[in-house]
Structure 1
Amino acid sequence: MWHDIRLMRALGTGLFGLAGLALVAIGLMWLSQRPMFHLQLIKIEAHEKNSLQHINALTVRSVALPRLSGNFFTLDLEAARAAFESVPWVRRASVRREWPNQLIVTLEEHVALATWGDKGQLISTKGDVFTANLAEAQLDDDHPLPEFTGPAGSEKEVLAKYQQFNDWFAALDLKAESVQLSARYAWRVGLNNGMSVELGREGANSMQERVQRLIAVYPQLMMRLKGQIESVDLRYPNGLALKSASLDAALDKQEAKKKPRLNGQEGKRKP
């Protein structure tokens, strides 16, 4: 074997090649650790030219930056993306390098639509549940946020029903302020006139048919009850039940008229 000149030359060439590659790798490793490749600038951009209303540099610095490690070459972009998505109000983040020592981060921010459940969470216009400062969300509007509740995993279904309720009740110039989906999948909607509507579960007659039943008689109810309707129950096949303070007062007066009156004064007997 050692007398085969060609084999020995090939073996030597291979060893020299491996040595050269090792030197190149060592050189590149040394070069990649130079201070010029330490991350000097992290540029934050908004997704699709949208403005960032709730995400600020202080929050990003305190939440995301401590989770970043490495330089321009060694930074794990997937881990960096997860770090920025852990910042409150961030829905989605994308991260890319920019030569020689910059990081470009594009953030998409949640747009809060309503509160979710009883744990101080919010639900976005896209049906994502997230945790953030409720006071910051309220600053977007003078009116309180609508309140949504429902079983885990029903977030997008509740959001869709909220939009439907607003479309249906627009005929009465009313909007939903709360939407509740129970564990038995029964629906209740609270409207911005203070009225609560029990709709029950989806059944033989659709939810929209039940709402249309209320819309058909609503003007007459408002006239008779002077606009004081506390709740309406539409879970009946062909009718509805309602609760009203003015109706209770009228019934009380009727009951009072039926009581015996002695000597011109109710409740007093002639001595």
Structure 2
Amino acid sequence: MWHDSKLMNNTANALFALVLFILLMSGVWWLIQRPIFTLRVIRVEAANAAQLKHVNPLTIRNTALPKIRGNFFTANLDAVRQAFETVPWVRKASVQREWPNKLVVTLEEHTALGTWGEAGQLISVKGDVFTANLAEAEEDADLIELSGPDGSEKEVLAQYQEFKNWFAKISLEPESVNYSSRYAWSLKLNNGMQVQLGRVQDGTTLKSRVDKLMTVYPQLIASLQDSIESVDMRYPNGLALKSSHSNIGLKKQTKASGKT
């Protein structure tokens, strides 16, 4: 083998290339470790030219910055993004490098719509459930109450929007919407009235029951004023009514068998 000059030349060239590659990589590694590339600035800005209302420097310093490792070249941008998305109120983060020692982090905040379930969590206008300071959310708006099985957040939010549009015709709106573990819908309106709508039989079930309630609602208000506590719309041919007035007789007249 040692008498094969061509093989020896190829072997020597390969070894030389390997050594050159190692030296080159060592030089690159030495260069990117220079102090000039140490991260000195992390600029945080709001998405869509908005202003950050709830995310503040102290929260970022305590929550996100301790998780950031590396310098301008070696910092893992995905890990940085994840670190910022653990900050309360942050819905989404994106990260870019800015030469020679900066990171630019763009944040999108949650906009709270209401509370979710009984665990003290919040739900956003986009149907995201998140954990944040409830008092801060209450400073922004009157929170509604939404609840449902795990994974039903966006379905409940969409149905709340439907209810809001439907009841606007009689100048009412939902204060709370519940989707039970048995997949039955109920809500509370801003006049204090509880409405039981039951389970969905087909695509028109909820709408038809709400329409039936809105048809008779003016008569109920004229007769009972503000004494209606709850209405059960799960009966195919009528409704069941509970009023703070005792022995009003309307419940027997309107209640029908065959609740669903």
- Structures share fold, TM-score greater than 0.5: yes
Task: Report the Cα offset of residue 248 of structure 1.
Answer: 1.2
Letter matched to residue 119 of structure 1: A
1:111 paired with 2:111, answer yes
Counterpart position of 1:150:
148
Counterpart position of 1:189:
187
Letter matched to residue 46 of structure 1: A
Residue by residue over 1:228-266, the C-alpha shift from the partner in whole angstroms, topping out at 9 and shown as x without a partner, is 211111111111111112x31757xxxxxxxxxxxxxxx
Structure 2 unmatched ranges of 5 or more: 250-260
Counterpart position of 1:260:
none
Task: Report the Cα offset of residue 219 of structure 1.
Answer: 1.0
Task: Report the Cα offset of residue 5 of structure 1.
Answer: 3.8
Task: Report the Cα offset of residue 7 of structure 1.
Answer: 3.7
Cα RMSD, aligned residues only: 1.5
1:67 paired with 2:67, answer yes
TM-score for the superposition, normalised by structure 1 = 0.87
Distance 2:13 2:214 in 1: 90
Task: Report the Cα offset of residue 112 of structure 1.
Answer: 0.7
Distance 1:176 1:126 in 2: 18
Letter matched to residue 176 of structure 1: P
Letter matched to residue 238 of structure 1: N
Distance 2:228 2:32 in 1: 73
Counterpart position of 2:235:
236
Task: Report the Cα offset of residue 11 of structure 1.
Answer: 3.0
Structure 1 unmatched ranges of 5 or more: 252-271
Residue by residue over 1:8-63, the C-alpha shift from the partner in whole angstroms, topping out at 9 and shown as x without a partner, is 33333332222222111111111111111110100112122222111111111110
1:190-269 equivalences under 5 Å are 190-203=188-201, 206-245=205-244, 247-248=245-246
Counterpart position of 2:20:
20
1:54 paired with 2:54, answer yes
Counterpart position of 1:139:
139
TM-score for the superposition, normalised by structure 2 = 0.91
Distance 2:7 2:232 in 1: 94
Counterpart position of 2:254:
none
Distance 1:99 1:211 in 2: 59
Counterpart position of 2:164:
166
Letter matched to residue 133 of structure 2: N
Distance 1:226 1:42 in 2: 60
Distance 2:27 2:212 in 1: 79
3-state SS in 2 of match to 1:115:
strand
Letter matched to residue 200 of structure 1: G
Residue by residue over 1:158-180, the C-alpha shift from the partner in whole angstroms, topping out at 9 and shown as x without a partner, is 10110011111011100100001
Distance 1:165 1:45 in 2: 36
Residue by residue over 1:79-111, the C-alpha shift from the partner in whole angstroms, topping out at 9 and shown as x without a partner, is 111111111111111112111111111111111
Question: Whose radius of gyration is greater, 1 or 2?
Answer: 1
3-state SS in 2 of match to 1:139:
helix
Letter matched to residue 225 of structure 1: L
Kindly tell me the number of residue pairs found equivalent between the two proteins. Answer: 248
